[in-house]
Amino acid sequence: MVPRGPAQRAIAPEQHKASVQTNNSVMDHQRLISQVVSPKVERSPSPTSTVANPALKSDSSKPPNDDPAIKHVTSVSELSDVKRSPTPIPANPSLSRDSSKLPNRDATIDQVNSVSQLSDVKPTDWAFQALQSLVERYGVIAGYPNQTFRGNRAMTRYEFAAGLNAALNRITELLAAGTSNLVRKEDLVTLQTLQNQFAAELAQLRGRVDALEAHTASLEQHQFSTTTKFLGEVETVIGGILAGNNVVTKRPAPRIITFQDRVRLIFNTSFTGTDQLRTTLTAGNIASLGGTRTGLFGTTEGRTSDNATPRFPNNDVYLSGLRYQFKPFKNTQVNIFAQSDGAFEIGLSGPINPYFEGSAANAISRYARRNMVYDYGDTGPGIAVLQQFDKQWQLGLAYTAINGDTPTPDNGLFSGRYVALGQLSYYSPSKDFRLALTYANTYSPPNTTGQTGTNFGPVIGSNLANSTVAGTGTVGNLYGIQAFYKINPKFAINGWVGYSAHRYLGRGDGQVWNWAVGLAFPDLLKEGSLGGLFIGMEPKLTALSKNVDLGAGPGQVDKDTSLHIEGFYQYQLNDNIAITPGFIWITAPDFNADNPASLVAWLRTTFKF
């Protein structure tokens, strides 16, 4: 052994002193880090800060237990919603592709060595220098697999914890390695100073976040349902007849202005996220201006689209719709309904006539909403299927049993009145042009009526077009072609032609035609508002077997041509309220030039919520 000399023994105290200084430096840095991470900041005394958030409250002298429901945890095992995962949680807030899917097994993300590797981070971004410092000085930033940072997306508590852990681990490694040039004591002092200077602002921000979380929790606790959405629609109408006679009595129709209403409450419930159970409750007292040889006009011409059903007393609440919709395949939609209409359920007429058809919206009259081929039906039980072939082609099939809920002779699902309908629709890639070809077959047993009081026919048009032979069943084969073309964002045109072949079983045949053209002016005078002009010929009986008498004599048809002219302006006051003045003008009512023209004025206000 070589004895230790004085020189060697003199070096030992210097080495010890250097070691002590290094350890003290590390301890000082760690002390500063702990003060920066958990500063003693007094919380805002605002009464809104009643719900503590463990992720935000940073007063190390008081555990975050302001709310008895929130407890300070000392072990992650105390958190019931945190599970052990075979895949580690990413050690950076920006690692997850989707905050709702943590951890993500497919997120193979590499460490970023330079901020230039992040394609969506530009030198002009306000946080560019901060990101550059975190990447190049500390190496605690990573990006998505496509080399993006997505700095604008929200961060979950999981991501915050993972990122904070990565930053602290990195700083601890740098301190342990003695790399004081990377983590400077001055930087930590600056951070602590900034937190002290902005303590009031930080406390106020925490108070606001806590108040927002409390409000959100209250909304979640008191929401109507986690699976049901409630929609409401209230319509009020001031209007009446300004001119015209009753076509049956030949006397002037009453010139009486009324104030009437209709209310619809809709409950949409989903059980799987891709299905929907819709329940519709309706009440109203809007009187029909006329029916087949009944009502104020004695004809269905000019009938409004919002009149109440005669089946229930005015303003009685009744179930007007009950339907369950689901998708057995990606491009197949099935609707099974106990109370509704098949064509309505799969939306066959709406897309072809978007600016005129609508519930308590758009056109005033029933006829301006749709071709007569859709109007031979009534509400009842049935099934409807919508098959999407691609983005351009669509096939709709529907079967509605008008009195399918009535267990008496000549009623029921398959032995009573029904409408079977099919439609092939084409949409251009831009959806600016749409075309539909429609066919329907319908049958009505002798002397049966539906829920709206009709026996057979399109419930619009002349009395002869809606008439049947007493004691005789009636079959209809209906054909329609309708088109829509949006010329520009401010102007669109739509139109249709419809033909119906009526067969009065054992008696003879009849033929009925109708046509129409509509001009729509979206965003007229104000964004969201709508102007509309409409002209057409409601269903007219043009041919009849000589031995068939529908009320005007054997073989007699409508002798003149009647035009339906309508205009409206739907002023969108805001997202929930629309005011729509409009008029309906009928020339030669009931297709008889001897009858003076009729005029109806309508002022509709719609509230939707």
Q: Rounded to an integer, what distance in angstroms lies between the CA atom of residue 310 and that of residue 294?
A: 12
pLDDT of 377 > 60? The answer is yes
Q: Rounded to an integer, what distance in angstroms lies between the CA atom of residue 335 and that of residue 347?
A: 11
Residue 439, Cβ density class (10 Å: 0-12 exposed, 13-18 middle, ≥19 buried): middle
Q: Rounded to an integer, what distance in angstroms lies between the CA atom of residue 390 and that of residue 327?
A: 16
Report the DSSP beta bridge partners of residue 419: 400, 442
Q: How many CB atoms neighbour CB 365 within 10 A?
A: 27
pLDDT of 132 > 90? The answer is no
pLDDT per position as a tens digit, 61-105: 444 444 444 455 566 666 666 665 444 434 333 333 333 333 343
pLDDT per position as a tens digit, 530-571: 999 999 999 999 999 999 999 999 999 999 999 999 999 999
Q: What one-letter code names the amino acid at 51?
A: V
pLDDT of 480 > 80? The answer is yes
Quick one: pLDDT band at residue 369, thresholds 50, 70, 90?
A: very high
pLDDT at 182: 58
Three-class DSSP labels, 6-29: HHHHHHHHHHHHHHHHHHHHHHHH
For residues 606 and 233, the answer to whether their CB atoms sit within 8 Å is yes
137 versus 39: which is more confidently predicted?
A: 137
Q: Rounded to an integer, what distance in angstroms lies between the CA atom of residue 39 and that of residue 198?
A: 11
Percent of the chain with pLDDT over 70: 78
Quick one: pLDDT band at residue 197, thresholds 50, 70, 90?
A: confident
Give the single-character DSSP code of 524. S
Q: Rounded to an integer, what distance in angstroms lies between the CA atom of residue 362 and that of residue 497?
A: 21
Beta strands in 244-389 (DSSP E): 258-269, 276-284, 318-329, 332-340, 380-388
pLDDT of 292 > 60? The answer is yes
Quick one: pLDDT band at residue 12, thresholds 50, 70, 90?
A: very low
174 versus 3: which is more confidently predicted?
A: 174
Collapsing DSSP to helix, strand or coil, 262 comes out as strand
pLDDT of 599 > 70? The answer is yes
pLDDT at 598: 98
Collapsing DSSP to helix, strand or coil, 31 comes out as helix
pLDDT at 196: 77
Pairing type for strands 380-388 and 332-340 reads antiparallel
Q: How many CB atoms neighbour CB 286 within 10 A?
A: 20
Largest Cα separation within the chain, whole Å, is 142
179-188, 390-399, 462-471: which range is least confident on average?
179-188
Nearest to 596 by CA among 244, 240, 246: 244
- Number of alpha carbons in the 13 Å side-chain half-sphere of residue 565: 10
pLDDT of 30 > 60? The answer is no
pLDDT of 394 > 60? The answer is yes
The average pLDDT across 312-333 equals 95
Three-class DSSP labels, 191-206: HHHHHHHCHHHHHHHH
Which stretch, 52-56, 310-314, 470-474, 483-487, has highest mean pLDDT? 483-487
Tokens representing residue 136 in the block:
């190049």
Rg (CA), the chain: 37
**What are the b/e assignments for 470-501, b being 16+ CB within 10 Å?**
eebbbebebebbbbbebeeeeebebbbbbbbe
CA-angle at 140, arms to 139 and 141, nearest 5°: 100
pLDDT at 160: 72
H-helix or E-strand spanning residue 130: helix 128-133
For residues 398 and 373, the answer to whether their CB atoms sit within 8 Å is no
Report the DSSP beta bridge partners of residue 475: 443, 503
For residues 188 and 33, the answer to whether their CB atoms sit within 8 Å is yes
pLDDT at 359: 87
Q: How many CB atoms neighbour CB 433 within 10 A?
A: 14
Q: What one-letter code names the amino acid at 10?
A: A
The average pLDDT across 307-324 equals 92
Sorted by sequence, the CB contacts under 8 Å of residue 199 that are 6+ apart come out as 39, 41, 42
